[in-house]
Amino acid sequence: MDLFSKRVSYLHILHNDKPFKSEPQTLFDGNFTELRVVTYVSSPEFFFDRVKKFKKVIAILGEEESAREFYQLDPAFEERFILSAESDPQVLEAIANGVIELRYMKAGERIHSKIYILSDVQGNTRVMVGSANFTSSAFSNRGQFEELIVYDSSYNPSFCDAYIKRFKEIYENSMDFLSEKTKKKIQSLILRAENILIFTPDDRAEAIVEKVQRQIQAGGDAGSLVIEVMNEKERTEKRIMEIERVEKIIENVTKKTKDGYSFEPKQKLITLKEKLKEIVSFSHKRTQGSVKFFMCKIDRAIKEGVSSIKLPKNQTKKGGIHP
């Protein structure tokens, strides 16, 4: 924090061992022509707008904490990326021609790295690593604490070489993000054979088959997708119960007024204790029931041949609860 302006530096950047105070986006400026990046992308629009100036872009799409790897088989996942670029011919052409290359990891492998490698035609590089994804929230320096360590090859060549090798290792274990069907649709749009990007059920089914074939070829772990879907469903059920519980609490401790809502007075809150105990006890019973239901599904998965089960915290395979 600046002691005089009281301005918080949410995105903390060290560039060649010195604090970087300029606009974060200027780190991508200069004579750089190539960008290699490993990052989670929350807004394809923001991403494409920032990378389209480069002559070559390789992006390995990572995950945020709440992302789920089973979305890899959902054709809507890649459609969201492409439809966001539909109105920008420059981006569409770059994707179709391989100037912008999108990749992701195979099933059973997740990536949380944030790596940026910028290169120019003379072979100079700039490497950035840290917590910041290539998102507007991370690079806007507003309300989100992030770290970014930046080195130029002229200042720290060994650091840059290490992460160039690291990127290569990740790249070699990644796979193409876009299906061939989607690439053909983009090409047709560029050639004006189609006026708009429309994905039919047949297109999506074909894309799923292709994605599964790629997973098989890459040695993707089908079991991890099965377990992840089950885990996600269980998390969602718990989350719904949490919301319902809080909703009931709020309904009881607030009241409608002519100006909106207010909390019940202290005297009324005291009389509500028994009602609140009932709400909490009811939620606890529902949670136990949900756990037992979920564990039955896991037992069924074991019988069907899934070899690796990620049990929820504090639970045994038979549904028991440990203190």
* Residues 184-224 pLDDT 10s: 888 888 877 566 777 888 888 888 888 888 888 888 888 87
Instruction: Identify the weakest region by mean pLDDT among 26-40, 233-247, 302-316.
Output: 302-316
The model's pLDDT over 144-175, given as tens digits with 9 standing for 90+, comes to: 899 999 999 999 999 999 999 999 999 998 98
Label the pairing between strands 11-15 and 146-152: parallel
Question: Can you list the alpha helix ranges (DSSP code H) found in the chain?
Answer: 44-51, 75-84, 89-96, 136-139, 157-172, 180-190, 201-218, 222-253, 266-271, 273-303
Span 19-73, pLDDT tens digits: 998 888 899 998 999 999 999 888 889 999 999 999 999 999 887 654 455 566 7
Residue owning tokens 């999108």? 102
pLDDT of residue 293: 56
**d(C-alpha 295, C-alpha 290), whole Å:** 9
Contacts of range 320-323, beta carbons closer than 8 Å, 24 or more positions apart: 321/288, 321/291
CA separation for the pair 168, 124 (Å, rounded): 17
Q: What pLDDT does 193 receive? A: 55
Got the DSSP string for 116-151?
EEEE-TTS-EEEEEES--SSHHHHTTSS--EEEEEE
Q: Output the pLDDT for position 317.
A: 41
pLDDT of residue 64: 62
- Predicted pLDDT at 308: 44
| Residue 69: its H or E element | none
